[in-house]
Amino acid sequence: MMHTDLIDQDDLRERLQLAGVQLPADADPEQACARALQGLDEARALALRSMIEQMLGSGATMLPTVREAISRQLLPALAEYQQSRD
């Protein structure tokens, strides 16, 4: 039997909370990512970038809903934030 690491919505929620994001317990990935972007500042942007790099670099399988929420919300917002800082 093979064991595969899986990043699901609970993992995303936990990682966002570790990055300082306040989330309701029932937040889905889209809602969690949207909440993570509220009040985006340099410290939060760095924490979110680091979190995404760790998740993508871990080799774990990411549920499509989690990957889509990150791709649709976090990545574009972080890129825009970085451009505004340059």
pLDDT at position 2 over 90? no
CA–CA separation, 32 and 57 (whole Å): 21
Q: Residue length, the chain?
A: 86
State residue 4's pLDDT score: 60
> What residue spans define the domains of the chain?
6-17+30-85
Name the pLDDT band for 78 (thresholds 50, 70, 90): very high
CA–CA separation, 73 and 4 (whole Å): 26
- Assessment of whether the complete model's pTM goes beyond 0.95: no
pLDDT at position 57 over 70? yes
Q: Is the dihedral of CA 69, 74, 75, 76 positive or negative?
A: positive
CA–CA separation, 33 and 1 (whole Å): 33
Instruction: Specify which residues 61 forms β-bridges with.
Output: 6
